[in-house]
Copies of this chain bind each other. A is one copy, B any other.
């Protein structure tokens, strides 16, 4: 679709190189410590190219964040869809989110710099569109099915989302391999406690 024409092809290639290098450097050094000069040098283009594709440093970061969040959201959705039971979908999605968010580039870009660079509310909107939406929907479905007691799902979704974000960051820092198992177990207990029993 965007393939016709040698010009559109080159355009897309350049954009991808900028996105790729941006992602690598933002992940490795953090947004503040990365200079545009280094990005365009590594991408083998110039600042003119960057500013032709993006309105500035922040929007390049935004595009990178969108890509990272998209990948995480896809993984979560796939993990959820692997189950039929709505409850298993919730648990599977949460576990997969915890795993996916342990990757270092996801950590720095999505969890640390994201809110600071774009502001929390904008970050929140993107997070909602990418993956938090699945969490809210899963919880709402479980309320409707009577698996968990009737209650507003938004506060609950926020609590769980924050819990998983922070746990993922902690896992990457202090990871003995048993920590992951312990965290999964604790998260599992937390989720199971939502149920009526």
Q: Spot the interface stretch: A4-12, A35-43, A153-161.
A: A153-161
Q: Specify the chain B residue showing the minimal Cβ separation from A114.
A: B116
Q: Specify the chain B residue showing the minimal Cβ separation from A179.
A: B155
Size band of the interface chain A makes with B: 35 or more
Q: With A116-B113, A173-B120 in contact, is A159–B155 under 8 Å at CB?
A: no
Contact with B along A155-197 (1 / 0, CB 8 A): 1101111111111011001100001001101110110011000
| Interface core residue of A111, A120, A152, A169 (most chain B CB under 10 Å) | A120
In the assembled complex, which residues on chain B have CB atoms less than 8 Å from the CB atom of A151?
182, 185-186
With A and B bound together, what is the CA distance between A115 and B117 in angstroms?
12
Whether A86 sits at the interface, judged by CB under 8 Å, is no
In the assembled complex, which residues on chain B have CB atoms less than 8 Å from the CB atom of A119?
30, 112
User: Is the Cβ of A159 less than 8 Å from the Cβ of B182?
Assistant: no
* 9 smallest beta-carbon distances between A and B, as pairs: A162-B166, A193-B193, A116-B116, A163-B163, A155-B183, A159-B163, A158-B170, A162-B162, A155-B182
